[in-house]
Amino acid sequence: MMAWFVFVVASLMVLGGAVGVITRTHPVHAALSLILTLFGVAVHFVALAANFLAAVQVIVYAGAIVVLFLFVIMLLGVDKVENLQVEPFRLQRPVAVVVGAAVLSFLGIAIIVAKDAPIVDVAQSTAVSDAVRGGAHDSNIRALARDLFSDHVLAFELTSVLLVIAVVGTVVLARKPRKGELA
């Protein structure tokens, strides 16, 4: 019963924060709503006994990415509404479409190729079994690395794409209007 309550409360945090990110017009308020969403996801991780992922969620995303957004917003004063119809670079949108299509096609190719890849059982792996039997100190690190870069490589790569999108979003928020553009 308690697990259900935690799930409902964390889900309401995630959904409420996500709606706040979309509906808030002030960038600082939207960033604070994003923090609420990230903390809700961290609560889900804790409920699933993934404490390491919860800590990484709070430290990396809420602690670093959102703080980076807030620094850019507050230090550069980009909390003004910009006219999105004015293109600073004329080829920006066509290049973005081509790059997006290329990323999606590479992702599709990777998924098709990964379907035929052999599945490595971590318990059967010689490095992990030797580390467990031999008492090596880094068996958890090896198991985590093997799991992360074999079974969950797609999620790992999508996380890196998400971080790139965060940096691009920060640059877009930080750009200053040129003369002749509406501020």
Options 3.40.50.300, 1.20.120.1200, 1.10.357.10, 3.40.50.970; CATH of 1-79: 1.20.120.1200
Does residue 83 or residue 114 have the better pLDDT? Answer: 114
As a whole number, mean pLDDT of residues 91-115 equals: 88
pLDDT of residue 76: 67
pLDDT of residue 124: 55
Q: Which of 41, 65, 37, 68 is nearest to 53 (CA)?
A: 41
pLDDT of residue 141: 72
pLDDT of residue 15: 96
Average per-residue pLDDT in the chain? 79
As a whole number, mean pLDDT of residues 1-10 equals: 89
Q: Which of 10-24, 45-59, 82-96 has the highest mean pLDDT?
A: 10-24
Residues shown for the chain:
183
CA dihedral 164, 169, 170, 174 (to 10 degrees): 140
Residue 57 CB-density burial (10 A; 0-12 exposed, 13-18 middle, 19+ buried): buried
- Is a pLDDT exceeding 70 seen at residue 81? no
Where do the structural domains in the chain lie, given as residue ranges?
1-79
Cβ atoms within 10 A of the Cβ of 31, count? Answer: 22
Asked if residues 125 and 146 have their Cβ atoms less than 8 Å apart, the reply is yes
- Is a pLDDT exceeding 80 seen at residue 43? yes
Whether pTM > 0.85 for this model: the answer is: no
Structure tokens at 170: 């920060």
d(CA 139, CA 126): 11
Please identify which residue in the block is written with the tokens 């490595």. 120
Please identify which residue in the block is written with the tokens 């980009």. 78
d(CA 70, CA 78): 10
Cβ atoms within 10 A of the Cβ of 70, count? Answer: 16
As a whole number, mean pLDDT of residues 119-139 equals: 56
